[in-house]
Amino acid sequence: MRWLAHLVAGVVLAALVVTFVIPVSRGAAVLDGLSFLLLLLATLAVGWILGWKRPSNPLGWLFMAFAGLFALQFPAVLLGDAVFSFAPGVSTWLYWYGSDRQDTWSWVPPVGILLTQIPLHFPDGRLPSPRWRWFRGYTIFALLVTSFVLSTSPAEVVPGVDNPTHMADITADPIIRILVFVGLLAASFVGAIASLFARYHYADGVQRAQLRWVLWAVSLAAGTLVFSWVASSVLDVGFLQGTVLAAYALIPISIGIAVLRYRLYDIDRIITRTATYTLVTVTVLGIYLLVVTSISLLLPRLPSLGVALATLAAAALFLPLLRLVQRWIDRRFNREQYNAAKVVEIFGERLRNGADPHTAAADLVDAAEQTLHPSSLGIWTAGGSR
């Protein structure tokens, strides 16, 4: 099975190269699809590593399927162009799958895999419990029905080529579309995400750390999406698509770290630091805007003075506010690390103040036991060991 991971990853990577290089050679803008390409490459890399290192876990194969279903669309169109003159029927079906239309359906299977099958099987490849088997069948049924309904929508797969599955009655009925998107697809997404919280409730310490990695990445991606919406509407900034897709790439990366258990418990420190810098940044930005607005209202002829004062205030407040918020968050959300830091600080203070050399070893043992919780502990000294 390990060799199969290399083969699948190589095929998908070749398809991504074709998808990116050929449009650029034809004059397409490089940056148009670069952020999406980076997302697919990150997903493919994680899938390849998991398929290679954990071949029995389906998550790696699901990630490679996600990247592959997107990557094969453009090569399918190229192949359709090549065989159209002598096999128009084959070309029609290739266009039906791969052509880039506004009403295309081919996004449903990969997005469905990402938002239903991967959450249901994270982190060990198994469902949260046997009771979730019916829901997994429901999500597969929902993806198949949604793909079928959407595939019947366009009358043509490309200009001049009729859609072989076009069914006007299904496409035109709004009740069917509402049932498909809300009753099937949306319900599948919500239920699959809810399975992560259900799994977290009954998980042990290791699985909870694994789930925190994913929940952190999902929260960061959702926050980036909301920020992009606000920036595009309130601040008159274009939609930050590249930033949003880069944030989405954190999700497969976090899953890869969690499944491989690489620096697993660093997630607690990452979460607290993310929360700290987010709160401090929002607070400093609010103070900056408040000072600029106030000075502009009081001294409308000196707008540059408001900007200068606001910049100085933000720069002066950042580091003290960062330390204050970091200590506050550690005390409340990372208590074990906070307590360990206090123990080390107290031990260091006692050494600096001239601790009794006869009790220093015992104090060191107590500090190590309180912070590291080792199963056994020994200290080697010049005269032997303790």
Q: What is the DSSP string of 8-19?
A: HHHHHHHHHHHH
Contact between 9 and 66 (Cβ < 8 Å): no
Q: How confident is the model at residue 36 (pLDDT cuts 50, 70, 90)?
A: confident
Q: How confident is the model at residue 338 (pLDDT cuts 50, 70, 90)?
A: low
81-89 contacts, C-beta under 8 A, 24 or more apart: 88/161
Please tell me the distance from the alpha carbon of residue 103 to that of residue 106, in angstroms, as a whole number. 9
Q: Which of the residue ranges 11-15, 35-39, 165-169, 328-332 would you say has the lowest mean pLDDT?
A: 328-332
Name the phi and psi angles at 144, rounded to 5: -65, -45
Average pLDDT over the chain, rounded to whole?
78
pLDDT of amino acid 68: 94
- Per-residue pLDDT at 13 exceeds 90: yes
Residue 202 falls in which region: left (phi positive, over 0), alpha (psi -120 to 50) or beta? alpha
Greater pLDDT, 273 or 368: 273
Torsion of CA 304, 307, 313, 314, to 10 degrees: -160
Q: Give Cα separations from 219 to 195, 282, 378 (angstroms).
A: 16, 17, 43
Contact between 342 and 349 (Cβ < 8 Å): no
Contacts of 307 (CB under 8 A, 6+ apart): 292
- Per-residue pLDDT at 121 exceeds 90: yes
Strand partners, 162: 156
Structure tokens at 313: 């205030």
- Per-residue pLDDT at 29 exceeds 60: no
Q: Which of the residue ranges 29-33, 98-102, 221-225 would you say has the lowest mean pLDDT?
A: 29-33
Q: How confident is the model at residue 385 (pLDDT cuts 50, 70, 90)?
A: very low
- Per-residue pLDDT at 151 exceeds 70: yes
Contact between 288 and 313 (Cβ < 8 Å): yes
Please tell me the distance from the alpha carbon of residue 108 to that of residue 100, in angstroms, as a whole number. 14
Contact between 45 and 58 (Cβ < 8 Å): no
Name the phi and psi angles at 154, rounded to 5: -75, 145
Work out the average pLDDT over 115-126: 90
- Per-residue pLDDT at 47 exceeds 90: yes
Looking from the CA of 244 toward its CB, the CA atoms found within 13 Å total: 14
Contact between 23 and 90 (Cβ < 8 Å): no
Please tell me the distance from the alpha carbon of residue 173 to that of residue 298, in angstroms, as a whole number. 59
Q: How confident is the model at residue 244 (pLDDT cuts 50, 70, 90)?
A: confident
Kindly state the DSSP code that residue 128 receives in the 8-state scheme.
S
Contacts of 18 (CB under 8 A, 6+ apart): 74, 75, 78
Q: Give Cα separations from 265 to 120, 124, 258, 295, 337 (angstroms).
A: 22, 17, 9, 46, 11
Greater pLDDT, 325 or 356: 325
Among 62-71, 198-207, 262-271, 314-323, top mean pLDDT goes to 62-71
The predicted model scores a pTM of 0.74
Longest dimension (CA), the chain: 93
Kindly state the DSSP code that residue 294 receives in the 8-state scheme.
H
Q: How confident is the model at residue 185 (pLDDT cuts 50, 70, 90)?
A: confident
Contact between 314 and 288 (Cβ < 8 Å): yes
